[in-house]
Structure 1
Amino acid sequence: MKKSTIWTIAAVVIIALGGGVFYATQKSNSNQVDASYNSAIQSGKEAVKDKNYARASNAFDKALSIKKTDQAQAYKEQADNMTAAIKATKDGEYDDALAKTNDVVKQSNGYSVLVSHGKKLTKTIKDVQDNYEHEIKPIFAAAKQNEDDKQYDQAADQYQKVLDLPYIDGKYYTKYKKQASAGLDKNKQAAKDNKNEAESSSNSSSTSANSNGSDTGNAGKTGEGSMGDHKVHGQTVTNDQIAQLRKRVTKLGYEGMAWSPQDLIDLYRKSGRANPDQITKNDVQSYLKP
């Protein structure tokens, strides 16, 4: 056999062997890529199962960096939209939240479990929105009106209603719980400050009256220093009771500081109540009728 033929055969054999090695190497690399990709996808699915959508997004993003596929891209977008929907719900941005869950459900090539989670979250968002629109929002509006009218005790009561709602400790209501807590504290302090101011004013008046030997201040003065009827249930109304009456009238929505001591005593007498704190708004309205 000629040497040239031998070299030709050897070259063919070498090329064949090289090609086989190259193919085997490429196949091995491809298998490793697929294994890494599948592992990342599986990690993402485990995170979805735990409802940790941020971690799921990172895992799907890793899969996408290993091998760009429609599957990895779709899964990542779904996880991102779930995260965004949850945040929007906590922020009270319900329309945005519902738009995000709709994207999750309608996602092309999406993960079926994420589709299921998206549908459940949609229902939750609608429930939260309904609770806000029909319970929390009206209570806050009433509290704001009370604050504007300087009816701080009533405003505090409204904020307490929010804190007493059975679902207020849920994670989607944290914003409103904080708002109600802050409003409650603010109005309790305002009511306390008002009370101290009223008592200070009352004490100042009683000091002046006591110097004249009267225990009900200027109650009953109608000119020339004449006195009115200071007795209710057979007992003379004290300065402390007048302060209590003034506070009660204020709490019922009237300008207590504008009432004279005699008016407060006459209201107390006409109401027939055992003590000032039992006087009602109807009692006040009846007294004020011509």
Structure 2
Amino acid sequence: MKKWIWTIMAVVIIAVVGGVTFTSHHMTQKAYTAAMTTGRQAVSKENYSIAESAFQEALRHRTNDQQAQGHLTQTQNFVSAQSAMSDHEFNTAKSDYTKVKNAKTGTSTLSNRAKTALKLLKTIQLKVETFQGVYEQALTQNQGQSYEASNATLDRIFKDADAKQSYYTDIYNQAVDLRSANNQAIKHGGDGTAAASITTPNSSSSSASSNSANTNSGSIANANDNSSSRTKGLTGAEKQAAKNYKGSNEFTVKKSQTEINGKTITASQIASARKTLSSMGVSGGSFSDQDIRTGLIAANKAGISFKAYAQKTYK
């Protein structure tokens, strides 16, 4: 009789444990499914912070779940791409959008948005290159004292319907500054005197009455000269100062230290980086142009945006 009692008790215990296990599994599955649903709905509504939290919640219920991890990573890459676009870090944005598009475990919604963004990005990058080429041509004309021709060239930027979009703010502002300098030169007769032209700090043409004009306009040309052309124009004292300088600036570095992937770092890229630093509460003016270049190169090598690099390095 006792054997039957123990048998019955064993069956009851097994049933209870099994029931608890089943209930626990069912609740976990239910919570996981709810979190994934919330995350997908948030993505659909472009509420990416909520989506990230929801996918993280799903992972808490199913640790190492590939589906939840894939959705979370895709969402994070998309957010990173958008941030890079806002900072005009187009190469970083392209890389992140491509990861989103090619994600094997993610939402088709984000994949499609990434495809659309990549098409737009291609157009933006082509136009940035076009505007940069136009600006550099106008700058060359300015330096040749062909101020009206320089303004006519700049009109190719100003007459473009897209030029005032936020993507082109840096190069557009540079064009505005150059046009102002051209107009100032034309106002003074456009006779090639220091008061009427944009000069680099290397220029020997100066006078007491033109120091102000040289200071304002010289910075535009200076930002676009390469290191070799600057060094050639230095005075003896300036060359000695550059030689004695122990830090890193435009006069003491190799060509490779002024390039990213074989392309010279432009003045607009430097200006954009300074703007990024300012938005973080870091004084961009406390860094030389070469300091900025060094940061851009380091960020590129690390495969991250300049903003992300600056947050890790300067904060």
- State the TM bucket, normalised to the shorter chain: 0.5 to 0.7
Q: Which residue of 2 aligns with 1:123?
A: 119
CA-based RMSD: 3.6
Deviation at 1:162, TM superposition (A): 4.8
Write out per-residue CA displacement over residues 84-114 of structure 1, whole angstroms, 9 at most, x where no aligned residue: 2223333333333222222222222332222
Contact 1:156 1:184 in 2 (8 A): no
Higher relative contact order (CA 8 A, sep 6+): 2
Offset from partner CA, 1:250-272 (integer Å, 9 cap, x none): 1xx743979xxxxxxxxxxxxxx
Q: 1:8 to 1:104 in 2, by over 3 A?
A: same
**Aligned letter for 1:249?**
G
Offset of residue 67 of structure 1: 0.8
User: 2:175 aligned with 1:180, yes or no?
Assistant: no
* Aligned counterpart, 1:49: 44
Letter in 2 for 1:129: Q
Q: Larger deviation: 137-146 or 178-187?
A: 178-187
Deviation at 1:54, TM superposition (A): 4.0
Return closer, same or farther for 1:38/1:153 CA change in 2, 3 Å cut-off.
farther
Tell me the distance in 2 between the aligned counterparts of 1:66 and 1:131. 47
Secondary structure (helix, strand or coil) at the match of 1:133 reads helix
Alpha-carbon distance in 2 for matches of 1:87, 1:18: 56
The question of whether the paired residues in 2 share the 8 Å contact of 1:160 and 1:180 is answered with: no
Contact 1:247 1:256 in 2 (8 A): no
Partner in structure 2 of residue 16 of structure 1 = 11
CA change 1:159–1:39 in 2 (3 A) is farther
Scaled by the length of structure 1, what TM-score is found?
Answer: 0.54
Note the alpha carbon deviations across 1:145-194, whole angstroms, 9 max, x for none. 467568889878877865664334545x1xx3256347636974x679x6
Q: How far apart are the structure 2 equivalents of 1:56 and 1:104?
A: 15
Which residue of 66, 72, 86 maps to 1:70?
Answer: 66
- 1:242-261 alignment, distance < 5 Å: 247=187, 249-250=189-190, 254-255=192-193
Report the count of equivalent residues: 195
Matching residue of 2:25: 30
By how many angstroms is 1:127 displaced? 1.4
Report the equivalent of 2:99: 103
1:106-255 matches, cutoff 5 A: 106-134=102-130, 136-142=131-137, 144-145=139-140, 162=157, 165-168=160-163, 170=165, 173=167, 176-177=168-169, 180-181=172-173, 184=176, 188=180, 247=187, 249-250=189-190, 254-255=192-193
Larger radius of gyration: 1
Classify 1:165/1:187 alpha carbon distance in 2 versus 1 (closer, same or farther; 3 Å): closer
Task: Report if the CA contact (8 A) 1:159-1:180 is conserved.
Answer: no
Partners of 1:17 and 1:148 in 2: how far apart? 95
Aligned 8 A contact 2:80 2:93 in 1: yes
1:89 aligns with 2:81: no
The reply to whether residue 80 of structure 1 matches residue 18 of structure 2 is no
Q: Report what 1:227 is aligned to.
A: none
Residues 162 and 177 of structure 1 are in contact (CA less than 8 Å); yes or no, is this contact kept in structure 2? no
Contact 1:85 / 1:96 at 8 angstroms: preserved in 2? yes
CA spacing shift, 1:16–1:256, aligned 2, 3 Å: closer
Query: Take 1:101 and 1:92, find their aligned partners in 2: how far apart are those partners?
Result: 14
Matched-pair contact (CA < 8 Å) for 1:153–1:187:
no
Structure 2 distance, partners of 1:167, 1:23, is 66
Q: Distance in 1 between matches of 2:90 and 2:126?
A: 10
Tell me, which stretches of 5 or more residues in structure 2 are unaligned?
197-315
SS in 1 for 2:189: helix
Relative to structure 1, the CA distance from residue 56 to residue 151 in structure 2 (aligned partners, 3 Å threshold; closer, same or farther) is: farther
CA contact (8 A) 1:146 1:155 kept: yes
Contact 1:159–1:181 under 8 Å retained in 2: no
The one-letter code of the counterpart of 1:88 is A
